[in-house]
Structure 1
Amino acid sequence: MGLNVGQAIGIGVVAGFVGAFILVWFIPRTPTIQIVQEGGLVHTRPETPQHLREMNRREADPRIDSVRWFSVRMIPLMSDREIAEAVEFERDIKRFAEMCIEAPFRPQPPVPESLFDENELVRLAGKPINGGTWSASISNTATRASAVKCFLAQFVFKRIHPNCPPQDCLLPPEVASCYQLINVPHNNPGRDDLLGIWRELVFTLLLDPFALLPLPPGCFKEGDPRKERTLAMVPVIIDALHLKSLRNDRVRQEDDTIERPITGILMTSANSALHLLAQPSEWEAVWEANEPGFIVFPELRFVWNSFTKFLKPAVVDVDTLRPIPSDDNRQAGNNKHADDKQYPEVGAPDQPNIDTEKLPSLEDGQSLTQGIGQESSPSTANR
């Protein structure tokens, strides 16, 4: 009786295993070190001098020795244009200030310095990096537009950094909390690279599964869980800056012309925070500039183990000087009648300043700010 194909293959496999086992079993087990009889010639390698061994031993350079090379990273930002696209909210802030604050051929409305709550402004954005106070720079028409842009930039950069408290951060709370939990001080360069890989993986999980490349930062999609807590910051900013009193646009009757741009700035900033988090290098905003003027947007640096690999220079308004100049008296005189209707103390230096609580805009702003801050705003929850 003959064998079919399946039986022949099975017998061949079994015979092969048995043959291999017998071959391994009967191989003579000889020591790997040759035993030299006494008096025989022993060939030894000359010992390497100590100074040559030290030269051949190269210490790992944390700037270049990493788990993965920078050329195969996922989305490195290496040029000024790419970095500028990642922080698209800077362009949105500039466009908003040009549209609502410094509209051409229209005089800016004068407002008193006492209109603003300096403590609230400092709490939201920190101390002004250009010196002085927020109240003085915003009430001054010569520096108002630059001060508003700088305030919004400081507010955003403070909240897109992963070290920001999770309740105030524009990153998802779980991402910011996990980052702060694993990002502890250490002296192991390899851990920095592993942390960078973790940031990239988090960004990959948050991307659209059908997207081949990461989309540029933009507004939230429908049903984004970050939308509610991010939009809660919009009225807080509007009331702290009193933008309804500062606005200089032509469509003053529409409140949406203020809320919509601020909403877009915050949503774009939240998505930019994810793009910056996913970089191989840690990023930092440095409020320094080589040229004189009013710093509007900071210098953005991407640092790898204290080594700056890429940077975007700061944006400076050279037309606005530091220290902050005073308002032009002629402008205050030309707008005297309009000022008396809205703010009686403007143009009347002999009269004492009116209590700020009597101003309708200030009273409404304070009550709205406090109510929102206690109920819906994540940035004022622990106030």
Structure 2
Amino acid sequence: MISKDIIVVGGGAAGFFAAINIAEQNPNLKVTILERGKEGLGKVKVSGGGRCNVTHAEFIPQELVQNYPRGEKELLGPFHQFMTGDTIEWFEKRGVELKIEEDGRMFPVSNSSQTIIDCFLNEAEKHQVDVLYNHVVKTIDNDGKLFQIKTSQGDFSAEKILIATGSNPKIWNLLENLGHTISQPVPSLFTFNIKDNRIKDIPGVVAKDVEVRVLGTDLWSEGPLLITHWGLSAPSILKLSAFGALELAKRGYKFQVEINFIRDSFQSCLDTLKVLKQDLAKKAVFKSTQFDLPKRLWHKLVLASGMEEETRWADLNKGQLEALASQLTQAVFNVDGKSTFKEEFVTAGGVNLKEVNFKTFESKLVKNLYLAGEVINVDAVTGGFNFQNAWTGAYIAAKNIVQ
């Protein structure tokens, strides 16, 4: 049995961030990371298409928490302790400058996730954090004084441990054995699988500002919409998938969405089309793209309204005008299944929020057991928010572990 002061289970973003902060604040502590893989920081590597979406340029806690379908209320206090500005400062002090993109996402100026990985590895080495790879945790026991951890490569003991493994069913089972309740995991960030002639053969088309509703629920979102080979994606869909994670799982990922492509009412759209019927009388509807829609999408919606390519505006009857207005403002699509969003697999689920003290990120049930990141039932929409939760929880946990 190898004795350590602090053991961090999980060599991901939250694990490294916590371990470095613990060792930096108290150099006398022996801090060890146990990572099951042959290398850590895998999620950091693939985040943001390999650029690492470190955080999001939202600097007001009350606004930031609105991006967390699970954890919104609980994270408000922690974000007053350590937030976006603190994250930026932490990395800049260690030579990593971040930049803000138009949509608010923040990346290293280098545009490479390797910059973040190198920063963590260098800081861990600098502060003598022991990183042990290929150490799969088998059991975690606690006798009230020490934690005993059995791994595939040997046994360890420590006074305090931090679990930062992300969404890991095996670790959740071990936490259940320690008395914790686990909210069952379901996918959170995913795209919608749809087979429909209106979006067939036009992958890559983006409608810049749409409104999407899940019929039969209160779920809705807005923002860009991307048509893909398999269906629909982009922020409007991913946000909907995050906030609707539990409801959509219940429906077996079979449901209907209504899309308003022009963010206007049916009647207002119809009135506009009637004016266009007069103004563009001799022109073909198919060739007269309107409402700032992508040309290929306009073509599909016109044909779906029962017109031919040569149909002129002047020849439109009441039914065709109404059909086009309906396609533009209330187009219904059948969703049949989901696809993971890139490599960034996020789940809703984890340790019950009521069992975590969010002032310290210590377990309310097991003394000296700390939890950070997605091992807790907290998840966010895409855009750097899941990482910010990881940094915040890891920092606060580290601060309280050292005290």
TM-score, with structure 2 as normaliser = 0.22
Q: Which has the higher contact order (CA 8 A, sep 6+)?
A: 2
Larger Rg: 1
TM-score, with structure 1 as normaliser = 0.22
Larger % of helix: which?
A: 1
Larger % of strand: which?
A: 2
